[in-house]
């Protein structure tokens, strides 16, 4: 038998033409090559190959390959150089040490590229930046890295096979993909080869027969349907896989976490992404000259620069006095002249704790439990654990006689029950607005130890100026990383990927 239900002399035309092309060579043909030589479309060749493979007349070998090519932005950097390289070249021309603004001017960098260039210069340890003086100084060696070599290679070639690159260059490709400077495409190549059974079948001789695949009204009315051969359907033939609709796995995870918190008696806090320096920093007892306020650690709103503080004059006055001399908190304050104008500065919130500060001001229920999912923004260097936009799950609990033990219990619950961690590690940390402060890390076999975020008990310098007289424990954890550990994801960028193949494979946990 040649095809199910047919003798060798009754071969479908497309299958016969495909076999004939394969018989002209002892090698293998790809689907596009078969289509070109047979004069058939790719779809027709694929259908013919599928039937021939079922009958063991051809063999099909699949090979998945990954191509790497420059994006539009990558092509620009291929001509001009990476922003960090341009910054270093300018710094060398200025003697190896200069004010950052002068180096940027010398390099001709656009303003939006400055945080990126500075971040990568520091990450590659090419230079140090002194925030107090605003000076950039060369350190170490500024050799060409694998990322620059790969860009140079892609400038010469349209694309390259990722698998053909060295391990160092493959790592560089992943790095540049995170920076959106290269595009990575997966491609499946199919090589078709005639089997011995197929060759034997052709030697015996084969003809073709014309079959009708669709019964038309003309065939029925004219009665010609009696004279044609209708193609039989093979109900065992494989069909394209279908994917039912489902909620994004990360959104499902957030809904589950929210449901658990609500069931534990927590109420949700909400707020806007654009915040004032007052609630993002000042109300949290962070001095106005703190390095976290630098343009390399926070996104400032360009226009309008200033807005309404959103608190009464009495509250602002309390916070001002606390910063300057400690007010009634028992502290000495930060000992500087507080600026109300600086408190009005608009920015994109850098953490979710600003929502807790607003909730403290509105008035707490005692005892009270509150949580929020906050999208936060920081000019981070993109890598497998950092994004410029990320989510935090923020929480506070206000109650008489709260202690550090209560906080540690909540953190352990988050790590074990929500993230699925196997071990939990808590160690002392420092934040301007909490004392004591604790950092949470959790362990799993797939990821090792992963830092989730910080926590602590709000200092009196935070609670008293806002009118709160009971202890308040607070935490801000990276919920993106919680999901990564729970879902077995090793790159945070995958969570927000548009890769349908990745999304289809994710289980709804």
Same domain, 19 and 90: no
Same domain, 383 and 433: yes
Check pLDDT > 50 for residue 36.
Answer: yes
Q: Which residues contact 121 (CB under 8 A, 6 or more apart)?
A: 84, 87, 88, 127, 129, 136
Last residue of a domain, one of 185, 217, 239: 185
- Give a yes or no: residue 21 inside a domain: yes
pLDDT value for 89: 93
| This prediction's pTM | 0.59
Q: Which residues contact 115 (CB under 8 A, 6 or more apart)?
A: 295, 296, 379
- Average pLDDT of the chain? 85
In angstroms, rounded to a whole number, what is the distance separating the alpha carbons of residues 325 and 200? 97
Nearest CA among 436, 416, 420, 417 for reference residue 428? 436
Answer whether 341's CB lies under 8 Å from 280's CB. Answer: no
Q: CATH number, domain at 497?
A: 3.30.930.10
Same domain, 37 and 149: no
CA distances from 332 to 264, 323, 336 (A): 38, 8, 11
pLDDT value for 51: 81
> Mind listing the pLDDT tens digit for each residue in 100-115?
989 999 999 888 888 8
Strand order across the 389-398 sheet: 267-268, 368-377, 389-398, 472-478, 448-458, 434-444, 423-431
Last residue of a domain, one of 185, 214, 239: 185
Same domain, 261 and 407: yes
Check pLDDT > 50 for residue 2.
Answer: no
pLDDT value for 237: 60
Same domain, 395 and 479: yes
Same domain, 268 and 409: yes
Q: Which residues contact 370 (CB under 8 A, 6 or more apart)?
A: 266, 267, 268, 269, 356, 359, 364, 395, 396, 397
- Give a yes or no: residue 310 inside a domain: no
Same domain, 501 and 371: yes
Same domain, 102 and 180: yes
- Give a yes or no: residue 266 inside a domain: yes
Residues counted in the chain:
509
Q: CATH number, domain at 27?
A: 1.10.10.10
Last residue of a domain, one of 185, 207, 222: 185
CA distances from 497 to 82, 247, 249, 383, 494 (A): 25, 14, 12, 14, 5
3-state secondary structure 423-458: EEEEEEEEECCEEEEEEEEEEECCCEEEEEEEEEEE
pLDDT value for 19: 84
pLDDT value for 319: 96
- Give a yes or no: residue 314 inside a domain: no
Same domain, 75 and 159: yes
Is residue 1 very low, low, confident or very high in pLDDT (cuts 50, 70, 90)? very low
Same domain, 98 and 143: yes
Task: Give just the sign of the alpha carbon dihedral 268, 273, 274, 276.
Answer: positive
Check pLDDT > 70 for residue 250.
Answer: yes
In angstroms, rounded to a whole number, what is the distance separating the alpha carbons of residues 160 and 335? 59
- Give a yes or no: residue 336 inside a domain: no
Residues above pLDDT 70, as percent of the chain: 93
Owning domain of residue 174: 70-185
pLDDT value for 365: 87
Mean pLDDT check: name the lowest of 151-155, 293-297, 386-390: 293-297
Q: How many domains does the chain have?
A: 3
* Beta strands at 368-377 and 389-398: parallel, antiparallel or unpaired: antiparallel
Segment 442-458 shows an average pLDDT of 84
- Give a yes or no: residue 434 inside a domain: yes
Angle between helices 42-54 and 31-38 (to 10 degrees): 110
- Give a yes or no: residue 306 inside a domain: no
| Burial tier of 485 (Cβ tally within 10 Å: 0-12, 13-18, 19+) | buried
pLDDT value for 280: 94
- Give a yes or no: residue 279 inside a domain: no
Is residue 240 very low, low, confident or very high in pLDDT (cuts 50, 70, 90)? low
Same domain, 140 and 226: no
pLDDT value for 209: 53
Is residue 11 very low, low, confident or very high in pLDDT (cuts 50, 70, 90)? low
Is residue 26 very low, low, confident or very high in pLDDT (cuts 50, 70, 90)? low
SS3 504: helix
Q: Which residues contact 444 (CB under 8 A, 6 or more apart)?
A: 420, 421, 422, 450, 485
Segment 17-23 shows an average pLDDT of 84
Same domain, 208 and 122: no
Q: How many helices (H) and strands (E) does the chain have?
A: 20, 20
Check pLDDT > 50 for residue 484.
Answer: yes
């Amino acid at each position: 038998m040649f095809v199910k239900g047919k003798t060798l002399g009754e071969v479908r035309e497309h299958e016969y033409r495909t076999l004939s092309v394969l018989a002209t060579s002892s090698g293998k043909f790809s689907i596009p090559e078969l289509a070109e030589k047979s004069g058939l479309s790719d779809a027709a060749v694929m259908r013919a190959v599928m039937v021939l493979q079922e009958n063991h007349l051809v063999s099909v070998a699949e090979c998945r390959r990954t191509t790497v090519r420059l994006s539009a932005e990558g092509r620009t950097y291929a001509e001009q150089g990476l922003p960090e390289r341009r910054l270093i070249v300018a710094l060398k021309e200025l003697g190896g040490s200069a004010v950052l603004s002068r180096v940027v001017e010398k390099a001709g960098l656009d303003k939006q590229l400055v945080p990126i260039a500075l971040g990568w210069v520091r990450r590659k340890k090419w230079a140090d930046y002194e925030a107090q003086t605003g000076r950039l100084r060369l350190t170490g060696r500024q050799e060409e890295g694998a990322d620059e070599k790969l860009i140079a290679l892609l400038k010469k070639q349209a694309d390259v096979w990722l698998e053909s690159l060295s391990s160092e260059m493959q790592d560089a490709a992943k790095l540049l993909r995170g920076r959106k400077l290269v595009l990575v495409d997966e491609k499946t190549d199919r090589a078709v080869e005639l089997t011995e059974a197929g060759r034997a079948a052709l030697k015996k001789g084969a003809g073709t027969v014309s079959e009708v695949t669709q019964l038309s009204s003309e065939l029925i009315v004219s009665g010609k349907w009696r004279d044609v051969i209708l193609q039989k359907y093979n109900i065992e033939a494989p069909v394209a896989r279908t994917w039912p609709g489902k909620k994004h796995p990360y959104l499902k995870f957030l809904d589950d976490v929210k449901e658990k918190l609500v069931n534990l008696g927590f109420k949700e806090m909400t707020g806007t992404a654009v915040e004032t320096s007052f609630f993002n920093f000042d109300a949290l007892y962070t001095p106005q000259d703190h390095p976290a306020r630098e343009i390399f650690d926070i996104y400032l709103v360009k226009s309008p620069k200033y807005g309404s503080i959103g608190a009464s004059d009495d509250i602002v006055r309390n916070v001002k006095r606390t910063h300057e001399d400690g007010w009634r908190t028992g502290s000495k304050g930060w000992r500087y002249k507080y600026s109300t104008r600086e408190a009005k500065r608009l920015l994109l919130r850098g953490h979710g704790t600003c929502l807790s500060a607003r909730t403290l001001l509105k008035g707490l229920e005692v005892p009270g439990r509150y949580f929020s999912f906050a999208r936060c923004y920081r000019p981070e260097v993109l890598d497998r654990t950092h994004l410029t936009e990320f989510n935090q799950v923020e929480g506070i609990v206000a109650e008489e006689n709260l202690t550090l033990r209560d906080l540690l219990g909540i953190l352990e619950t988050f790590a074990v029950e929500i993230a699925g961690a196997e071990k939990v590690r808590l160690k002392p940390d420092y934040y301007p607005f909490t004392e004591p402060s604790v950092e949470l890390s959790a362990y799993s076999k797939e990821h090792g130890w992963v830092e989730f975020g910080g926590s602590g008990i709000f200092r009196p310098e935070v609670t008293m100026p806002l009118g709160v007289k009971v202890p308040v424990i607070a935490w801000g954890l990276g919920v993106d990383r919680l999901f990564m550990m729970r879902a077995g994801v090793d790159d945070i960028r995958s969570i927000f990927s548009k890769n349908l193949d990745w999304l289809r494979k994710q289980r709804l946990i």
